[in-house]
């Protein structure tokens, strides 16, 4: 992937038109507790992710790397995540492996020494020359706690130079899981993961997925606009809304689910947890802030935290465990 393509993605994602539909959280409603037996000041949002303590069940999801702008974005997000004590994933590191001179734009560990950091590669690259060595290099380069593979068949189909051979990836993924030495997670990029695929991923050893569902950043629209391919507009309505993916995938035992894709408030986060998610992730909502400063990214994180805590207060949940047990209704 070229540096120009990455820059184009950033610019197009900054346009509100790149945000299409709804993740479906408006279909769910908590039962309001007029007498919550909770002190707001004592609400505890702490959790653990990849063996490290985190203060909020929120992660900033993989976006970029490769260019000078991308380096700045990654640095600002990393500094904010370290201050807020939340996990952070970089964007696809294929460019860093193919063009080592761009690798420094991903190296955020000095800015975020204590929080989980996730390396990122497209799973399909395992059919295009990448193997265990490349995965190890990506993890080492970042001093990452885990490797996040992304699945993006629609995006690749819309790209002019897309990598569209998705055959036989499961056994290759299984081999990486066995030998990498750090946990391997899998995400989509905005079209969602079905229960069937989630089950298959779990069966080869994946323990955590980010469903990255439909209803937020729309990669059919983004890639369609970038390439002029009319598939973009046709497939902008394609995908599994995040709330549906979270509901279905959370039923699979032995699998932790991250609710990503169109998570736009802390209320969405709370609803996702009540449906079984262990964490939420955001990408585009942090993008404009990441171009400004670490403080601007922190303000975004703080907004989500304030909304999450207020929701927990109003449902009488003093801890995330209590929130996960809170009763939630589907609106007719």
Site for ligand FMN, rule CB under 6 A: 9-10, 13, 61-64, 91-92, 120, 150, 187, 189-190, 212, 216-217, 260-263, 282-285, 287
64, 10 in Cβ contact below 8 A?
Answer: yes
C-alpha angle with apex 79: 73 to 85, nearest 5 degrees? 125
Element (H, E) at 265: none
Instruction: Give the shortest CB-328-to-ligand FMN separation in angstroms.
Output: 21
Q: Are 117 and 182 spatial neighbours (Cβ–Cβ below 8 Å)?
A: no
Q: How many CB atoms lie within 10 A of CB 17?
A: 10
Minimum distance, C-beta of residue 66 to ligand FMN, in the bound complex (Å) = 9
Query: Least distance in Å: CB of 146 to ligand FMN?
Result: 13
Q: CA-CA-CA-CA torsion for 248, 159, 219, 143, nearest 10 degrees?
A: 80
Annotation: binding site for substrate: 5-6, 92-94
Is 262 or 316 the residue whose CB approaches ligand FMN more closely? Answer: 262
Nearer to ligand FMN, 10 or 308 (CB): 10
List the binding residues for FMN.
61-64, 92, 120, 187, 217, 262-264, 283-284
Binding-site residues for Mg(2+), please? 156
Which residue numbers belong to the known binding site?
Answer: 5-6, 61-64, 92-94, 120, 156, 187, 217, 262-264, 283-284
Please state, in angstroms and rounded to a whole number, the distance separating the CA atoms of residues 34 and 257.
30
Q: Which residue in the shown chain puts its C-beta closest to ligand FMN?
A: 216
Burial class (CB in 10 A: 0-12, 13-18, 19+), 170: middle
Nearest distance in Å: CB 222, ligand FMN: 8
- Give the residue with the Cβ less far from ligand FMN, 43 or 139: 139
Residue with tokens 């909770």: 38
281-287-289 Cα angle (round to 5): 110
- Which residue's CB is nearer to ligand FMN, number 62 or number 224? 62
d(CA 119, CA 235) in angstroms, rounded, equals: 28
Alpha-carbon distance 147 to 185, whole Å?
A: 6
CB of 292 to ligand FMN, least distance (A): 15
C-beta closer to ligand FMN: residue 45 or 120: 120
């Amino acid at each position: 992937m070229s540096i120009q393509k990455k820059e184009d993605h950033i610019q197009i994602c900054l346009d509100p038109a790149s945000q299409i539909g709804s993740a479906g959280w408006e279909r769910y409603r908590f039962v309001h507790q007029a007498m919550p037996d909770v002190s707001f000041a004592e609400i505890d949002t702490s959790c653990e992710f990849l063996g490290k303590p985190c203060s909020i069940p929120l992660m900033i999801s993989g976006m970029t790397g490769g260019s000078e702008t991308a380096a700045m974005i990654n640095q600002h997000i990393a500094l904010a995540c370290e201050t807020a004590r939340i996990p952070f994933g970089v964007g696809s590191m294929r460019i860093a492996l193919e063009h080592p001179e761009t690798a420094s734009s991903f190296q955020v560990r000095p800015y975020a020494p204590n929080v989980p950091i996730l390396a990122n590669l497209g799973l399909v690259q395992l059919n295009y020359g990448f193997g265990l060595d490349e995965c190890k290099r990506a993890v080492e380069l970042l001093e990452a706690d885990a490797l996040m593979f992304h699945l993006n068949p629609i995006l690749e189909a819309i790209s002019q130079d897309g990598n569209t051979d998705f055959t036989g990836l499961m056994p290759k993924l299984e081999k990486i899981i066995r030998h990498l030495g750090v946990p391997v997670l899998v995400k989509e990029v905005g079209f969602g993961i079905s229960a069937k695929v989630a089950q298959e991923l779990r069966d080869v050893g994946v323990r955590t997925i980010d469903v990255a569902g439909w209803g937020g950043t729309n990669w059919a629209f983004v890639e369609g606009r970038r390439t002029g391919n009319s598939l973009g507009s046709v497939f902008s309505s394609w995908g599994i809304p995040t709330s549906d993916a979270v509901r279905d995938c959370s039923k699979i035992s032995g699998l932790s689910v991250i609710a990503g894709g169109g998570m736009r408030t802390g209320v969405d986060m709370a609803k996702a947890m009540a449906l079984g998610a262990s964490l939420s992730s955001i990408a585009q909502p942090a993008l404009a802030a990441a171009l400004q400063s670490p403080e601007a990214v922190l303000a975004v994180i703080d907004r989500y935290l304030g909304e999450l805590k207020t929701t927990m207060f109003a449902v009488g949940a003093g801890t995330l465990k209590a929130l996960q047990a809170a009763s939630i209704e589907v609106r007719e």
